[in-house]
Chains A and B, each alone.
Chain A
Amino acid sequence: MAPDVSVAGDDVKVNYAAHIRFWRRNLKTFLPRHYTGNDANRMLLGFFILSSLDILGDLPSALSPEERQGYIDWVYHCQLPEGGFRPAPVTNFGAARNDDNKIWDPAHLPGAFFALLNLVVLGDDLTRVKRRELLLWLTKIQRPDGSFGETLGENGQVEGGNDSRFGYMATAIRWILRGNLEGTVDGIPDIDVNQLVKCIRSAETYDGALSEAPLHEGHAGFTCTAIYALSLMDRLPVSKPDGRVRGLTNLPMTLSWLVSRQTLTIDEDDSMDTLGDETDSAATCHDAHSFVKLQEYPSLQGLNSFEGEPDSHAELQWVGVNGRLNKIGDTCYAYWVLAPLFILGHEQIIDKRPVRRWLLEKTQHMVGGFGKASGDHPDIYHSFLGLLVVTMFGEAGLQDVDVVLCITNKAKRHLESLPWRRKLLGQNEEQSHETGG
């Protein structure tokens, strides 16, 4: 197939009006009851909502000055007296909070990460953030093996998983509050960067991905957040070794794993390749085109299932993206798989158009937002990540984004222009006139 031929579906558009309605509804009305399971993640939900409206260019008109200030105050309301943020008011004991019970209302890593991002998107200057306390706390939730946990529990015990999601959020907080500086800054010690890099490397898999823990299965989410953490610490591979410990020991293998996540299996109906029939056919192997010749049917079951089926029913028009081998395409993995390719500078090794067609024709929902797979109802998580993907593909009419921080470049420039941050990073006044605003 010639690469530049226009295909039906190329003219499909982002339904801007529907997306704006969807996100405004999420912002201004109560979320439906089924979000109760995310009650402890409201800082994250709030961020997905605000950043989506920002990407859609609607945030300035969606918020009155009073509302904007109200949301900023809500985020600060989640800041703890000792520094750090809770991810929602669920554990706030109010006046009853004391030294004996504050352990049940702890500072929370994703809480702090999404709180900072919310403040940046809302245009706050972060001066009310207890920055020293937050940075110091960051060094305490890093374990000796380099990994980061989620909270500090009893006796300073680091609680929560030790996978790269937390490494990503920790390095992002560090970048937001102290840029690329390494070592002690302003009397506050740094996290152990080398140890985190080693920890990330220890979770590289035999097929080039990254996993939750050493020797576990490669997974796009962990691969993406590991690459982000390396990027935020400036520890991605370079062509000439410079003596620093760096991540991704086999970049070509990682690239191969990432591009292999593109799949033609985009409906539950055609995911029969996982259902116990070992036979290859166009119906079982959508990762390949119509091609593979069937040598023979190794089982009677295979023969019965596939005899007489056309060699090709899969179309190249839509290409989905999965998060692991032999799984069905899922909107969120278009982000977790393709965004790291942008960060690695290799976005040209995928064809964006069939992925865009899949997202806009199959998982974009008519009420706005995106669902997980074809025909699914939209939810906040898939809607945000789907929108990020079409934005990073350069969709007209959307604000360009920083794919690592998941905010518009406009919001990122606001952060970079803040006087306290410029001062800390030794950026002088003249530069501030050039790039500020």
Chain B
Amino acid sequence: MPIFYHDDPEWSDIEPLPQDDGGLHPLAAIAYADEYSEAMGYLRAVMAKNEFSQRVLGLTEHIISMNPAHYTVWLYRSRTLSELKASLHDEIAWLNPTALKHLKNYQIWHHRQTIIDGINSPKGEHEFIATMLEQDSKNYHVWSYRQWLVKRFGLFDDKEEMRWTEDMIHADVRNNSAWNHRWFLVVGGRDGKTLPENVVKREMDYAKSAIRKAPQNQSPWNYLKGIVREAKLPVSTLKDFALEFADMRRPDDIYSSHALDLLADIYAEEENGKEEAKKALELLASKYDPIRAHYWNFRKGLLDQSGVAA
């Protein structure tokens, strides 16, 4: 049922401010529904008066349901909530279904941060996030918000947080957002300090076991290489592991293009390894990853250049 205000006695004191679209040639004019045009006219009128009231909360809800990306309506709503000292828990209860309706909206998450920051507790947020991720397990806004929560409430070392992340990776080993969240916890939580040896080993083992499940999944390969780099270990640390999936002596038995890519890097750093590195890149270009043939050939060219330089 559309909502109108012109015959609502509660709004009889407000003269709506219609949109001034500036002449005969507006750009990107939209065929508004009457309901939307009217509500926006009332919003402009109350904003112009700086009215912060219960009915304004209702009006902003109404407009957000039609245009959740209207940036000032959110700021105005925030200010209204604070002027009215409204219940922030009620606000979250309203936000939950609203966020589910507008999965890709940006402003909702910013508003949620403000409210949860005010409530000063992450209670209930994990359940809400789970509901959101059921709709789209890689929703960027949701993961970003989760990371804000971890930071805001100091959950880097929270065992539940890590267990949940592992569950997400277990549910879909190709969910790169979940892998990145693990990185966020493990590396982000250390705030620039060196990773302890036992953590490096634990993380490498974890990524390796995921790769053994699905060797062509790039997410854990990037994670593994990232940990090795973060720990300042040489890339050759991973040689034996990469050979499990790509042994150049058996070029017909390659199980992962990412292993070949890594081996090319490892061989390139070895003395007399250049020929092997080239062989790996040629296999990628011709057979195992031909959609990126131009790139593998470019990498091969770099090997020759570095030879000239040395």
A binding-site residues for B, Cβ under 8 Å = 1, 3, 26, 30-33, 35-43, 45-46, 49-50, 66-67, 70-71, 73-75, 77-78, 89-94, 96-97, 100-101, 104-106, 108, 118, 150-151, 153-154, 159-161, 205-207, 212-219, 255-256, 259-260, 262-264, 273-276, 278-280, 284-285, 287-289, 291-293, 295, 298, 316, 319, 324-327, 346, 348-351, 354
Q: Is B222 an interface residue (CB 8 A)?
A: yes
Task: Report Cα–Cα, A43/B27, bound state, in Å.
Answer: 7
Which B170-195 residues have C-beta < 8 A from chain A? 171-177, 180-181, 183-184, 187-188
Which B182-235 residues have C-beta < 8 A from chain A? 183-184, 187-188, 213-219, 222-223, 225-226, 229-230
**A30, A49, A150: which contacts B31 (Cβ < 8 A)?**
A30
With a cutoff of 8 Å between Cβ atoms, the chain B residues found around residue A212 in the complex are: 140, 144
B32 touching A292, Cβ below 8 Å:
no
B50 touching A92, Cβ below 8 Å:
no
Q: Can you list 24 contacts pairing A with B, beta carbon distance less than 8 Å?
A: A26-B28, A32-B31, A33-B33, A37-B67, A42-B27, A73-B22, A74-B21, A74-B22, A77-B23, A93-B47, A104-B72, A108-B71, A160-B110, A216-B180, A256-B295, A259-B295, A264-B291, A285-B214, A287-B216, A288-B257, A291-B254, A291-B257, A292-B256, A324-B177
With a cutoff of 8 Å between Cβ atoms, the chain A residues found around residue B172 in the complex are: 274-276
B binding-site residues for A, Cβ under 8 Å = 17, 19-33, 36, 40, 44, 47-50, 66-72, 75-76, 79, 106, 110, 137-138, 140, 143-144, 147, 171-177, 180-181, 183-184, 187-188, 213-219, 222-223, 225-226, 229-230, 253-257, 261, 287-295, 298
B69 touching A38, Cβ below 8 Å:
yes
Task: Report Cα–Cα, A349/B71, bound state, in Å.
Answer: 40
B28 touching A73, Cβ below 8 Å:
no
A324 touching B71, Cβ below 8 Å:
no
**Given contacts A31-B30, A91-B47, A206-B223, is CB(A262)–CB(B69) below 8 Å?**
no
With a cutoff of 8 Å between Cβ atoms, the chain B residues found around residue A264 in the complex are: 291
B140 touching A217, Cβ below 8 Å:
yes
Task: Report Cα–Cα, A427/B253, bound state, in Å.
Answer: 62
A106 touching B218, Cβ below 8 Å:
no
Task: Report Cα–Cα, A101/B48, bound state, in Å.
Answer: 5
With a cutoff of 8 Å between Cβ atoms, the chain A residues found around residue B177 in the complex are: 217, 324
With a cutoff of 8 Å between Cβ atoms, the chain A residues found around residue B230 in the complex are: 206
B28 touching A325, Cβ below 8 Å:
no
**A78, A100, A278: which contacts B213 (Cβ < 8 A)?**
A278
B48 touching A97, Cβ below 8 Å:
yes
Task: Report Cα–Cα, A348/B302, bound state, in Å.
Answer: 14
B295 touching A350, Cβ below 8 Å:
yes
A90 touching B70, Cβ below 8 Å:
yes
Which chain A residue shows the least CB distance to B71?
A40
With a cutoff of 8 Å between Cβ atoms, the chain A residues found around residue B257 in the complex are: 287-288, 291-292
Task: Report Cα–Cα, A97/B47, bound state, in Å.
Answer: 10
Which chain B residue shows the least CB distance to A212?
B144
B47 touching A215, Cβ below 8 Å:
no
A70 touching B24, Cβ below 8 Å:
yes
A104 touching B47, Cβ below 8 Å:
yes
What's the least CB distance linking B167 to chain A, in Å? 12
A316 touching B290, Cβ below 8 Å:
yes
Which chain B residue shows the least CB distance to A1?
B290
With a cutoff of 8 Å between Cβ atoms, the chain A residues found around residue B213 in the complex are: 278, 298
Task: Report Cα–Cα, A354/B291, bound state, in Å.
Answer: 9
B218 touching A326, Cβ below 8 Å:
yes
A280 touching B215, Cβ below 8 Å:
yes
A274 touching B175, Cβ below 8 Å:
yes
**Given contacts A215-B187, A273-B174, A326-B176, is CB(A207)–CB(B295) below 8 Å?**
no
**Given contacts A97-B48, A118-B27, A276-B172, is CB(A33)–CB(B32) below 8 Å?**
yes
With a cutoff of 8 Å between Cβ atoms, the chain B residues found around residue A91 in the complex are: 44, 47, 72
With a cutoff of 8 Å between Cβ atoms, the chain A residues found around residue B292 in the complex are: 259-260, 262, 350
B294 touching A349, Cβ below 8 Å:
yes
With a cutoff of 8 Å between Cβ atoms, the chain B residues found around residue A26 in the complex are: 28
Q: 4 extra interchain contacts, Cβ-Cβ under 8 A, other than A36-B33, A256-B295, A293-B255?
A: A30-B29, A276-B171, A292-B254, A350-B295
A40 touching B50, Cβ below 8 Å:
no
A274 touching B291, Cβ below 8 Å:
no
B30 touching A293, Cβ below 8 Å:
no
B183 touching A215, Cβ below 8 Å:
yes
A278 touching B214, Cβ below 8 Å:
yes
What's the least CB distance linking A371 to chain B, in Å? 16
What's the least CB distance linking B38 to chain A, in Å? 13
With a cutoff of 8 Å between Cβ atoms, the chain B residues found around residue A291 in the complex are: 254, 257, 287-289
With a cutoff of 8 Å between Cβ atoms, the chain A residues found around residue B106 in the complex are: 161
What's the least CB distance linking B117 to chain A, in Å? 14
B23 touching A219, Cβ below 8 Å:
no
Task: Report Cα–Cα, A109/B180, bound state, in Å.
Answer: 30
**Given contacts A104-B72, A325-B176, is CB(A31)–CB(B22) below 8 Å?**
no
A94 touching B293, Cβ below 8 Å:
no
What's the least CB distance linking A269 to chain B, in Å? 16
What's the least CB distance linking A22 to chain B, in Å? 14
What's the least CB distance linking A100 to chain B, in Å? 6
With a cutoff of 8 Å between Cβ atoms, the chain B residues found around residue A278 in the complex are: 173, 213-214
With a cutoff of 8 Å between Cβ atoms, the chain B residues found around residue A32 in the complex are: 30-31
With a cutoff of 8 Å between Cβ atoms, the chain A residues found around residue B50 in the complex are: 100-101
What's the least CB distance linking A77 to chain B, in Å? 3
A217 touching B176, Cβ below 8 Å:
yes
Which chain A residue shows the least CB distance to B102?
A37
What's the least CB distance linking A268 to chain B, in Å? 13
A39 touching B144, Cβ below 8 Å:
no
A206 touching B71, Cβ below 8 Å:
no
Please name the 5 residue pairs, one residue from A and one from B, whose CB atoms are nearest each other, closest first. A70-B25, A46-B27, A206-B226, A77-B22, A45-B28
A280 touching B214, Cβ below 8 Å:
yes
**A37, A74, A92: which contacts B23 (Cβ < 8 A)?**
A74
With a cutoff of 8 Å between Cβ atoms, the chain B residues found around residue A219 in the complex are: 140
What's the least CB distance linking A116 to chain B, in Å? 14
Task: Report Cα–Cα, A66/B79, bound state, in Å.
Answer: 43
What's the least CB distance linking B89 to chain A, in Å? 24
A74 touching B25, Cβ below 8 Å:
yes
**A96, A104, A150, A262: which contacts B76 (Cβ < 8 A)?**
A104
Task: Report Cα–Cα, A273/B176, bound state, in Å.
Answer: 12
B48 touching A89, Cβ below 8 Å:
no
B288 touching A289, Cβ below 8 Å:
yes
With a cutoff of 8 Å between Cβ atoms, the chain A residues found around residue B147 in the complex are: 213, 215-216
**Given contacts A206-B187, A280-B216, is CB(A30)–CB(B30) below 8 Å?**
yes
